[in-house]
Amino acid sequence: MKITVFGTGYVGLVQAATLAELGHDVMCVDINHAKINQLNDGIIPFFEPGLDQLVERNKLAHRLSFSLNPKECIEFADILFIAVGTPSYEDGSADLSAIETVAKTIGNYINGYKLIINKSTVPVGTVDLVKNTILETLAENASSYVQAMNSNDKLASILNRDKIEFDVISNPEFLKEGTAVIDSLHPERIIIGSNSKKALSIMRKLYHSFTKKGIPILEMDVRSAELTKYAANCMLATKISFINEMARLAELLGADIDAIKAGIASDSRIGPSFIDAGCGYGGSCFPKDIQCLINKAKEHQFFPHLLTAIEAVNSEQKTLLVDRVLNYYGHDISGKHFAIWGLSFKPETDDIRNSPSLTVINSICKLGATCTAFDPVAITNSKQYFANNQQVTFAESKELALIDADALIICTDWQQFYEINFDILKTSLTEPVIFDGRNLFSLADAIAQNITYISIGRKPVY
């Protein structure tokens, strides 16, 4: 099938490469010249394991190409995915201007039946917005053609004259940064929200190879699909904030969060995933999506208590490591120097958006401390973020970051941080103290190594 994907961010680029891998002919279009030039030169604009090989393989097979020309891409394809960015406004609502621009562009160049698919995470009602924007654009373009008619007749006449037919549906994405390629090639489910039979039958063909592998396709109405995406992310964030609140209680009551996790995870209704206590969730999705859903609820005069609490618990959790540091040093850390391990909001990504590490570093710097940070891939992004902050320096390895620091603070659970050499740690730090926001080590190891080890939801080791 011939497909165009609007947007070359995480969602758009991974979706385009996946569809090409499934054997479809895919064009990717973006307004960002630099990005398209990079992609044409074989450079992926962000770090995502395995994506470079997937893109390269499909480019070489002539199934995937990149363009700056939306007209060419719209005329080429029968299926148009919209995967452009939807940043947040201050009040948490989604800025849909990029989506509207794409819809207008489609209205300008549509040249026959098109199936238009919302892939970006967008508030409930965005399928209708895209549909109406395309219709309005068509009407504007043809206003001279049928000025005398009323608007409904006008639209019907335009569509009929140009044989323009289109459907807009929702097909939300569930991939995770860091494992986006695997998630996209092996999805656990596919959600299709469509009120059109024709669109549904095209979607079944599009994802036929997934169905053959036994991957379930869940068909539903448009608005349910749109809300399913938010429900999934909010549920996951709920699990994290819940376990983090339990971790706080465990500390106060002399219990251990690892034992509690094991105890509840063995109940199949709860399960073991997404209940690791830590220094809070980050990234571009959970914080943004929860705010957006809260905002949507308020538009309907409904106050979502639970959603509001998830965010409140998380904001507090992100300050926990700094509270621990302050408690340990008697509330004065001015002049102290810290080693920071982990800048990205989670492993296997260079994304630092809303990362707990930013809260930690900004707070300790405000209190007069300095730090040297290490991250396996997020240093370039972090250097930009901290460009005006002289108190933050960067090291080329986790060991170099430790030299002459007063303590180590761990913000991200990168695999290589589990493989710690305690001897190097003890000789590098002025005092062997670890504040661990990801519970990487066992308390028994910390005791055996004579390390002061302060983690989350567990007894501190002194």
Pick the closest to residue 415 from 446, 375, 380 (CA basis). 375
Size of the site for ligand UGA (CB under 6 A): 20
Name the amino acid, one letter, at 159: L
457 lies in the site for ligand UGA, by CB under 6 A: no
455 lies in the site for ligand UGA, by CB under 6 A: no
**Alpha carbon of residue 391 to chain centroid:** 29
Indicate the SS3 state at residue 310.
Answer: helix
417 is in an annotated binding site: no
List residues bridging with 372 in a β-sheet.
339, 393
Q: How far is CA 26 from CA 186, 236, 237, 426, in A?
A: 19, 32, 33, 54
In what order do the strands lie in the sheet containing 433-436?
392-394, 370-374, 337-341, 407-410, 433-436, 452-454
Binding mask 121-140 for ligand UGA (x = CB under 6 A): x-------------------
> Of residues 7, 92, 278, 376, which one binds ligand UGA by CB under 6 A?
278
Q: How far is CA 68 from CA 6, 27, 262, 383, in A?
A: 10, 10, 51, 30
Collect all residues with Cβ–Cβ distance below 8 Å to 356 and sequence separation of at least 6: 278, 279, 280, 282, 317, 318, 321, 345, 411, 437
- By beta-carbon proximity to ligand UGA, the closer residue of 68 and 98 is 98
> Of residues 345, 374, 385, 414, which one binds ligand UGA by CB under 6 A?
345
Which residues within the stretch 184-213 sit at the binding site for ligand UGA (CB under 6 A)?
Answer: none
Indicate the SS3 state at residue 32.
Answer: coil
176 lies in the site for ligand UGA, by CB under 6 A: yes
Is residue 371 part of the annotated active site? The answer reads: no
174 lies in the site for ligand UGA, by CB under 6 A: yes
Binding mask 368-407 for ligand UGA (x = CB under 6 A): ----------------------------------------
CB of 314 to ligand UGA, least distance (A): 9
Contact 138, 164 (CB under 8 A): yes
Structure tokens belonging to residue 397: 């390895």
> Of residues 281, 341, 385, 394, which one binds ligand UGA by CB under 6 A?
281
227 lies in the site for ligand UGA, by CB under 6 A: no
Burial class (CB in 10 A: 0-12, 13-18, 19+), 329: middle
287 lies in the site for ligand UGA, by CB under 6 A: no
277 is in an annotated binding site: yes
Strands 166-170 and 64-67, sheet pairing: unpaired
Selected catalytic residue, list 285, 292, 371, 411: 285
Contact 241, 275 (CB under 8 A): no
352 lies in the site for ligand UGA, by CB under 6 A: no
346 lies in the site for ligand UGA, by CB under 6 A: yes
Span interacting with ligand UGA, options 46-54, 86-94, 156-164, 270-278, rule CB under 6 A? 270-278
> Of residues 28, 74, 94, 275, which one binds ligand UGA by CB under 6 A?
275
357 lies in the site for ligand UGA, by CB under 6 A: no
Span interacting with ligand UGA, options 95-103, 148-156, 196-204, 232-240, rule CB under 6 A? 232-240
Residue numbers annotated as active site? 285
- Residues forming contacts to ligand UGA in the complex (CB under 6 A) are 121, 173-177, 233, 236, 240, 274-276, 278, 281-283, 285-286, 345-346
Annotated binding site: 30, 35, 86, 121, 174-177, 229, 274-278, 282, 288, 346, 353
